[in-house]
Amino acid sequence: MRAPQVVRDPTLPERVTIYEVAPRDGLQNESALVPVDVKAEFVQRLVAAGLPVVETTSLVHPRWVPQLADADGLLARLATDGLPPSQALPVLVPNERGLERALTAGVRHIAIFASATETFARRNLNRALDEQYAMFAPVVSRARDAGMAVRAYLSMCFGDPWEGDVPLDQVVAAGRRLLDLGADQLSLGDTIGVGTAGHVTALLGELAAAGVGPDRLALHCHDTYGQALANVLAGLRAGVTTIDASAGGLGGCPFARSATGNLATEDLVWLLDGLGVHTGVDLAALTRTSQWIARHLGRPSPSRVVQALA
């Protein structure tokens, strides 16, 4: 069987938007350096497979993420590649310098990357938790003035490797501040994959109580402990309709060949296809794309579905 039996659950949403992160969040965590031509073809193939949103790269300083040092070149390539004008191709922008580059490249969707915990804010952003908002405020404000859509990633929402448990109210407070800056969407990240389904339900409940409904939220689950799809299911039940995923599960830790990071888009599509939830994604085309990029990376995909369909 190459597809699941479709059995609708009428309590779940009818449509879900898959926010594809492999070209950015996947490739930045792979040890292999991928040529810009291959990256451009990767984005084109993902678009052709029906993914409505494909985050393409990050305009971070190349010193920090050498894998994405070709970001400006990739954006120039994509601008001339004849992709549909309606296609969303967001770009991660870490600061005002990155925003300048995004404006130059004609980017229309950006994402910023914030932290829910003090330790990760200091380690990843070199800022105190409270200082990150001042850093992002002019980025969001100028992006909005330029007509861009702005997503805010909030990382470490379900646990932090240095701090351990993360209180729900701390996540809610950080999320509210990012939305108050003017972000359109908040992506709740289980950065180290430790969250479980009841935790997802509880956090979404606290956010709703604080006035942040599921229509402004996305879930970004990692499959490190195998929990990603159970967590997605809890999110769907709470009304979330944007789910982040990475084609082929790209972005497993580069230091451990077997370790898994991002939820594989194929595993997510199998779930949603079985639930009768519309995504617009062609699972066969997507799987072929993940097998193709796996050959460029020189390692097999950790996706269960890619392995099973191979």
Query: Which of the residues are catalytic?
Result: 253
Q: Which of 134-147 are b and which e, b meaning 16 or more Cβ less than 10 Å from the residue's Cβ?
A: ebbeebbeebbeee
Question: Which one of 116, 194, 217, 286 is in contact with a copy of itself (CB under 8 A)?
Answer: 194
One symbol per residue from 242 to 271: x for binding a copy of itself (CB under 8 A), - otherwise; what is it? Answer: --------------x-xxx---x--x--xx
Of 133-172, binders to a copy of itself (CB under 8 A) are 158-159, 161, 164-166
Q: Which residues from 12-71 bind a copy of itself, rule CB under 8 A?
A: 12
80 near a copy of itself, rule: CB under 8 A = no
Residue 56 vs 242, nearer CB to a copy of itself: 242
Residue 90 or 214: which CB sits closer to a copy of itself?
214
Nearest residue (CB) to a copy of itself, 57 versus 224? 224
Candidate ranges 27-35, 69-77, 138-146, 232-240; the one touching a copy of itself (CB under 8 A): 232-240
Closest approach of a copy of itself to the CB of residue 257, in Å: 10
209 binds a copy of itself, rule: CB under 8 A: no
Q: Rank residues 49 and 271 by Cβ distance to a copy of itself and give the closer one.
A: 271
Question: Would you say 84 and 280 are in contact if contact means Cβ atoms under 8 Å apart?
Answer: no
For residue 307, state whether it binds a copy of itself (rule: CB under 8 A): yes
Select the residue interacting with a copy of itself from 62, 198, 211, 280 (CB under 8 A): 198
Identity of the residue, 66 or 161, whose beta carbon is nearer to a copy of itself in the bound complex: 161
Question: Using CB under 8 A as the criterion, which residues of the chain lie in contact with a copy of itself when the complex forms?
Answer: 1, 4-5, 7-9, 12, 158-159, 161, 164-166, 192-199, 201-202, 223-227, 229-230, 232-234, 256, 258-260, 264, 267, 270-271, 273-276, 300, 303-305, 307-308
